[in-house]
Amino acid sequence: MFCPETCLFVGTIPSWLQGTLLRNGPGLFSVGDTSYNHWFDGMSLIHSFTFKDGEVHYRSKFLKSETYKKNIAANRIVVTEFGTMAYPDPCKNIFSKAFTYLLNTIPNFTDNNLVNIIRYGEDYYAASEINFINQVNPSTLETVGRVNYRNHIALNLATAHPHYDEEGNTYNMGTSIMAMTGLKYVIFKVPATEKMPALKKLEQVCSIPARSNLYPSYFHSFGMTENYIIFVEQAFKLDIIRLATAYFRGETWGRCLNYDKDDVTLFHLIDRKTGKAVDTKFYGDAFVVFHHINAYEENGHVVFDLITFKDASLYDMFYMENMKKEIQEEGKTIPPPVSQRFVIPINADLKEVPGGTNLVKLQDTSATAVLQKDGSLFLTPDSLFEGLELPGINYKYNTKKHRYFYGSRMDWSPKITKVTKVDTVTRTYMEWTEKDCYPSEPVFVASPDAVDEDDGVILSSVVSLNPKKPPFMLVLDAKTFQEIARASINASVHLDLHGLFIHEKSQLKQPLEPTTYFTLNHSERLCLHLNH
């Protein structure tokens, strides 16, 4: 363990860039003699990059979740994760083992919140897709404590990708599996408040009955415009019976997800103010979606952009055994992600047009919404770009019409090799890449005097397989996509998943201080699983 202070950098960091980039992702893959089977199982390691007066300060700490504490205390993996099954200690007696199996009839989800950092009011939480979240101090990265959504609303699962409106309110969505009235998808709002904690003011916006109580749709994110919430009820589903019996059958939760390619995708449009869904049925062909890019309204249409896949093989790609070898072996291919635009006409008079009519009137898209005989609309998308995931935008354009989005581009394997900017108007793109470098999800930070949508910088944490090239924070001019600075980090840095940028005006009041940094040994670094 060591305590580095300021990162060494080349180039010039804009003087206006003041704040902290918080990132979250898996960082520890072995405990004692046990190891995780899936990259999404690794224990959460939070790290931060603080930009202050032209300098960059780095620190990282493991999330001290209950899962982390139990695993470290036992010196083995004792809590089941997405792709790794944990069994009773072989030294326990028969009664203890039987009790453990009984407890797992209804899964006791891990609180290893490794996906994202989210904000409710003035509080920040490490989050994944379960009912537990862990509050963290964004200055020191200390774990404050665990919170159970179920103390505030009846939820079993919740996304780690909420939306924030201009007033500072947070919107999120979850699944209520145990609802007495049937399985439901629940949308909720946490008002902006300085009172602690803001979650005590949580209010339900609406609930959407699932089309099946035994096979609810999996969802990782959702869309939002100024007036509507968009929920994609996809054909990638959670098998509730298999989930409830998974522990007895020695099956992980990840194996309880199934993709039905012969099903359809339903698109739900919910009024944000009334909480009522639009009566018209909107549907399309089956696909798998994890991330929404953005959504907005234009001339009586709701437009929403998604990253879609032809199947659910993405999760299989991140099993450790696949990450240690080339994923594209002979006879084994994985469909690339496709950025697609869907359009729903919301003001069309369905009674005045014949069946088979495309009701989309926007001129800048080939997306269609064709009227069916039963009054429903069948949606087909407009493809914008291929090969990009982990999308982001200038968040000032969230719920508004955007021109640009950013993301991680890859030769479709676990290896992210490029940071990309896509222009949805010209359908062109720019990219940054460097040999032996693997950049994280790009984060856009707008300049304070921005005029254009792309006035600002792109931040990305970069790791390398080259031992002579230390990890670094990359700073790009978002307009030209040229590198303007990089800050080298004298520590082991892990590839992460998601995070957020906290501007100086709203971040913690505590000054920077020396902090203990956690370094990962050779076998624990994710980058060493990438074809090394």
220 is in an annotated binding site: yes
57 is in an annotated binding site: no
Instruction: Please state the separation of Cα 375 from the chain's center in Å.
Output: 35
Residues 74, 68: Cα–Cα separation, whole Å: 10
State whether the Cα torsion 343-345-350-354 is positive or negative. negative
**462 in Cβ contact with 472 (< 8 Å):** yes
Kindly state the tokens that stand for 215. Answer: 């096979």
268 is in an annotated binding site: no
**507 in Cβ contact with 139 (< 8 Å):** yes
161 is in an annotated binding site: yes
Q: For residue 455, with 0-12 CB atoms within 10 Å meaning exposed, 13-18 middle and 19 or more buried, which class applies?
A: middle
Kindly state the tokens that stand for 197. Answer: 């904690």
Kindly state the tokens that stand for 348. Answer: 């069309």
Q: What is the 3-state secondary structure (H, E, C) of 449-474?
A: CCCCCCCEEEEEEEEECCCCCCCEEE
Strand runs (DSSP E) across 1-156, as ranges?
8-11, 19-28, 30-31, 34-35, 43-52, 55-62, 116-120, 123-127, 132-136, 143-148
Please name the helix (run of DSSP H) or strand (run of DSSP E) that holds residue 314, with its range, or none. Answer: helix 314-317
Task: Return binding residues for Fe cation.
Answer: 161, 220, 291, 498
Task: Return binding residues.
Answer: 161, 220, 291, 498
